[in-house]
Amino acid sequence: MFGWEFPPHISGGLGTASYGLTKGLSSIEEIEVTFVVPKAYGDEDQSAIRLIGAGDISIIRKQIDIEGFRKKMDFLEVKSGIVPYVDPEDYWRLTEKEVSGEYRFVQVDDEGKIQFSGKYGTDLLTEIANYAVVSSVIAEETEFDLIHAHDWLAYPAGIAAKEASGKPLVIHVHATDFDRSGGKVNPDVYAIEKRGMDVADRIITVSNLTRNTVIEKYHIDPAKVITVYNAVEPVVEKESSWFRKGMDEKIVTFLGRITMQKGPEYFISAAHRVLQKMNNVRFVMAGSGDLMNKMISHAAALKIMDKFHFTGFLKGNDVFQMLHLSDVYIMPSVSEPFGISPLEAMQSNVPVIISRQSGVAEILTHAVKVDYWDINAMADAIYGILKYPALSKVFIKFGKQEVDDLKWENSALKVREVYRSAIGVN
Residues lying near other proteins in the complex (CB under 8 A):
273-274, 276-277, 365-366, 368-369, 376, 379-381, 383-384, 387-391, 393-395, 398
Nearer to other proteins, 122 or 376 (CB): 376
Q: Is the CB of 108 or the CB of 346 nearer to other proteins?
A: 346
Smallest distance, other proteins to C-beta of residue 278, A: 9
* Rounded Cα–Cα distance for residues 280 and 370 (Å): 24
The set of residues, in sequence order, having a beta carbon less than 8 Å from that of 123 and lying 6+ positions away, is: 103
Nearer to other proteins, 74 or 380 (CB): 380
- How far apart are CB 181 and other proteins at their closest, in Å? 31
Q: Which is nearer to other proteins, 42 or 389 (CB)?
A: 389
One-letter amino acid identity for 224?
K
Tell me phi and psi for residue 198, to 5 degrees.
-65, -40
Q: Quickly list H helices, 326-361.
A: 341-347
**Of 317 and 376, which CB lies nearer to other proteins in the complex structure?**
376
Rounded-to-integer distance, Cα 195 and Cα 318, Å: 40
Q: How far is the CB of 287 from other proteins (least distance, A)?
A: 26
Nearest residue to 288 (alpha-carbon basis) of 98, 106, 74, 82: 106
- SS3 string of 120-169? CCCCHHHHHHHHHHHHHHHHHHCCCCCEEEEHHHHHHHHHHHHHHHCCCE
* Residue closer to other proteins (CB basis): 69 or 398: 398
Long-range contacts of 95-102 (CB under 8 A, 24+ apart): 96/290, 98/124
With CA atoms as reference, report the closest residue to 152 among 2, 359, 10.
2
Picking from 191, 218, 84, 204, the residue whose alpha carbon sits closest to that of residue 146 is 204
Nearer to other proteins, 217 or 387 (CB): 387
Residue 408 C-beta: closest distance to other proteins, Å:
23
Give strand pairing partners of 336.
Answer: 358
3-state DSSP assignment of residue 382: helix
Q: Least distance (Å) from other proteins to the CB of residue 264?
A: 22
Q: How far is the CB of 379 from other proteins (least distance, A)?
A: 7
Least separation, in Å, of the C-beta of 327 and other proteins? 15
Q: How far is the CB of 383 from other proteins (least distance, A)?
A: 4
Q: Side-chain half-sphere of 38: how many Cα atoms within 13 Å?
A: 28
Give the number of other Cβ atoms within 10 Å of residue 20's Cβ. Answer: 20
Around Cβ 401, how many Cβ atoms within 10 Å? 11
Tell me the closest approach of the beta carbon of residue 367 to other proteins, in angstroms: 8
| Cα distances (angstroms) measured from residue 44 to each of 41, 59, 62, 295, 385 | 7, 10, 10, 40, 48
| Shorter beta-carbon distance to other proteins: residue 50 or 277 | 277
Q: Which is nearer to other proteins, 240 or 376 (CB)?
A: 376
